[in-house]
Structure 1
Amino acid sequence: MRSLIVGNWKMNGLSGALAEAASIDTLAGELPGVEVGLAPPFTLLSPMAAMVHHLSVGGQDCHEASHGAHTGRISAAMLAESGARFVILGHSECRAEGDDDARVRAKVDAALGAGLSVILCVGETARQREAGEAKSAVVGQLAAALPQGEGSAERLTIAYEPVWAIGAGQTPAQDEVEAMHRAIRSSLVAHYGEAGRLVRILYGGSVSASNVEALVANAMVNGVLVGGASLTAESFGAILRSIAGSGRAD
């Protein structure tokens, strides 16, 4: 299974940042063993999609409605028309701002209906982990949002992002990452049958060049979702090279 490395730029990047994307795109072309994606802010999506050749460009979120009086929101069809090939949904930052499981599921359905692939984020809070509820929380989020339609699994990627690790400079122990990814895989197989074995499961949360090789050394980890370290070609490139040189690229 080919490793997938996706950079989520969040609310970062003016037009000058397109130069960084161009450098990342060039590097992606030199590392054919990995698949690379970038999710810039919406203002950069169209120009970035028009200039890259070796990576895919995606959105950071979308509204569940196809159109309407939703000031400041972006529909899945708008993302697709702007050149997006995927969208990140269920990110903890969006969940913290009101996205419950039902809304995440509605967004997933809308994105698939618009022809996009979906990176579905799941993850537990520090309180849930301390209470011994981490696995049930993650599996519950997953069960509530998994699409049902035929072929849905083919356009789905799961990103396990423990909420307490995002931006905190810490990651779970390797056996904890493996256990959670196994639980996610079991849920996918239970839902989709054998097709669930082909859904990639990424790890996200304070991913950096210093820890990514250890993370992807685990056969249960099919790639990473990167935040701040994806903003420059220097830092994101170090992550790409590390995975490409780890023997886990494909």
Structure 2
Amino acid sequence: MIYAANLKCNYTRSGFLEYARVLDRNISDQSVMVFPPSSAFLEAKFKFTQGAQNFYPAKSGSFTGEIGSDMLDEFGITTVLIGHSERRALGEDEPFLKAKFDFAKQNGWDIIYCIGEDDITHMNGSTKEFLCDQLENIDLEYENLVVAYEPIWAIGTGKSAKAEFIAEILDFISTKTTAPLLYGGSVNIANIDDIKAIKNCDGVLIGTASWDANKFLEIIKKD
């Protein structure tokens, strides 16, 4: 199982250092990724993989406020999130997401590519068609790809999608790619067992429930 923590806009560098130390002391051979804010990146090496929540598809240049690959290289970061709904909501459209994907692929980075539908699309029963549109611009055979299904209507609400629905959607996505599949959307200690039991679920992308290192560890170590 892959356990990925999206810390979003939380933690200063000193705070993340303590988080990282707690996590590092208590994991062994689990596949764990943590995505801190860029201002909290650490140069130290840990048992988990440190990834970037965001980047601009360029080494450097006149891109005010952006993070180029030169900055990621300084911290040895080669794992990135692309397509998270909160980035899409800020205006990252399909052509730009394709540019980010292609740049990351060119650099051989590990990519977690996020897809997911809003509540209206979900209620209309158009989820599968919507997800197909989100996937059509990327190379689904890229060897370092992981796809994360995150229904927008479940993110940060405390109410996860039902296991049967998650299973149906992950089964569908598995017909499009052989990449590992994650589920994200109010994953927590109460529902992790049901989610882990889903056939085509290879891991989870966790938001709020991962912000406390000890609570994240409870999820990782839950049998």
Map 1:1-250 onto structure 2 (within 5 A). 3-14=1-12, 15-29=14-28, 32=29, 34-45=30-41, 47=42, 49-52=43-46, 54-144=47-137, 146-147=138-139, 153-188=142-177, 196=178, 199-242=179-222, 245=223
Q: Equivalent residue of 2:183, what SS?
A: strand
What is the CA–CA distance in structure 2 between the aligned matches of 1:39 and 1:230, rounded to whole Å?
10
- Answer yes or no: is the 8 Å Cα contact 1:39–1:59 preserved in 2: yes
Sequence identity (%): 33
Could you tell me which runs of 5 or more consecutive residues in structure 2 were left unpaired when the two chains were aligned: none
What is the CA–CA distance in structure 2 between the aligned matches of 1:239 and 1:51, rounded to whole Å?
23
- Answer yes or no: is the 8 Å Cα contact 1:10–1:41 preserved in 2: yes
Q: Equivalent residue of 2:136, what SS?
A: helix
Normalised by the size of structure 1, how large is the TM-score? 0.85
Displacement after TM superposition at 1:50 (Å): 1.2
- Answer yes or no: is the 8 Å Cα contact 1:8–1:38 preserved in 2: yes
Distance change >3 Å, CA 223–CA 6, structure 1 → 2: same
Alignment: residue pair count = 222
What is the CA–CA distance in structure 1 between the aligned matches of 2:33 and 2:73, rounded to whole Å?
15
Give deviations 1:62-93, integer Å, cap 9, x for gaps.
11233221111012342233221300000000
Task: Report which of the two has the higher share of helix.
Answer: 1
Displacement after TM superposition at 1:185 (Å): 0.9
Opposite residue 38 of structure 1, the aligned amino acid is V
Displacement after TM superposition at 1:231 (Å): 1.5
Q: Equivalent residue of 2:4, what SS?
A: strand
Opposite residue 181 of structure 1, the aligned amino acid is L
Displacement after TM superposition at 1:121 (Å): 0.1
- Structure 1 ranges of 4+ moved more than 3 A: none
- Answer yes or no: is the 8 Å Cα contact 1:24–1:237 preserved in 2: yes
